[in-house]
Amino acid sequence: MNIYSPAYQEFIARLRLARKQAGMTQVEVSIKLGKSHSYVSKCELGERRVDFIEALQFAKLYKKPLAFFSRRLPD
């Protein structure tokens, strides 16, 4: 059972999408971030909560604005 909100589920879906658009594997990402492969995998699966600083690191690595990772909230 997923305990995360729909907004966080969207965030992790976009995290995976950004990596794929950057043409990188999880292993390549882990090396560039200096983290383990399991760290990247768990972030993308929602098994590890990504904090703001980590989100910034992913955004920089994938050359995406931070806004790419958030869904548009209702007005």
Query: Residue 2: which of 44, 33, 49, 46 has the closest Cα?
Result: 46
Domains of the chain and any CATH numbers:
6-65 (1.10.260.40)
Longest dimension (CA), the chain: 39
Amino acid at residue number 50: V
pTM exceeds 0.85: yes
Q: Which one-letter DSSP state was computed for residue 69?
A: G
R_g of the chain, CA atoms, integer Å: 12
pLDDT at site 73: 43
pLDDT, tens digit, 9 for 90 and up, residues 20-50: 999 999 999 999 999 999 999 999 999 999 9
| 63/14 Cα distance (integer angstroms) | 13
| Whole-number average pLDDT of the chain | 90
The CB-side HSE value for 14 (13 A sphere, CA atoms) comes to 19
pLDDT at site 41: 97
